[in-house]
Amino acid sequence: MLSDTTRMEVLMCKMETKNSTVLLDFYFEIFNRKKRKKFKKENANIQGNPIVFFGDSITDRCDLEKFYPGKNAINRGISGNTVTDLINRIDVSVCGAHPSKVILLVGINDMMNVKKTPQETAECYEMLLMRLRNKCGNIPIICQSIYPGYDAAKNKKNKGMIFPLGGLAQNIVDLNEKIREMCKKYECTYVDVHSKLRLEDNTMKPTYSDDGCHPNESGYRVVSKCLMKYL
pLDDT one-digit tens code per residue, 75-131: 999 999 999 999 999 999 999 999 999 999 999 999 998 899 999 999 999 999 999
Nearest to 108 by CA among 88, 131, 91, 85: 85
Domain locations in the chain?
Answer: 48-230
> What length is written for the chain?
231
Closest CA to 202 of 178, 162, 181, 173: 173
Rg (CA), the chain: 17
22 has a pLDDT exceeding 60: no
Query: What global pTM score does this model have?
Result: 0.87
Mean pLDDT of 149-154: 75
Q: Are 227 and 191 in contact (CB under 8 A)?
A: yes
pLDDT the model gives residue 114: 87
- What does the DSSP assignment read for 33-58? HHHHHHHHHHHTT--S-PEEEEESHH
**How is 107-149 classified by DSSP, letter by letter?**
-HHHHHTS---HHHHHHHHHHHHHHHHHHHTTS-EEEEPPPP-
> What's the pLDDT score for residue 209?
94
pLDDT at residue number 164:
63
Is 48-230 a CATH 3.50.50.60 domain?
Answer: no
Higher pLDDT, 191 or 25: 191
Q: Which residues pair with 73 in a beta bridge?
A: 51
- Alpha carbon distance 198, 203 (integer Å): 5
Percentage of the residues of the chain whose pLDDT score is greater than 70: 82
User: What mean pLDDT is predicted for residues 10-36?
Assistant: 63
Q: What pLDDT band is residue 18 in, cutting at 50, 70 and 90?
A: very low
Closest-CA residue to 85 (of 113, 48, 47): 113
- List strands edge to edge, sheet with 141-144: 73-77, 51-55, 101-105, 141-144, 189-191
Strands (E), the chain: 51-55, 73-77, 101-105, 141-144, 189-191
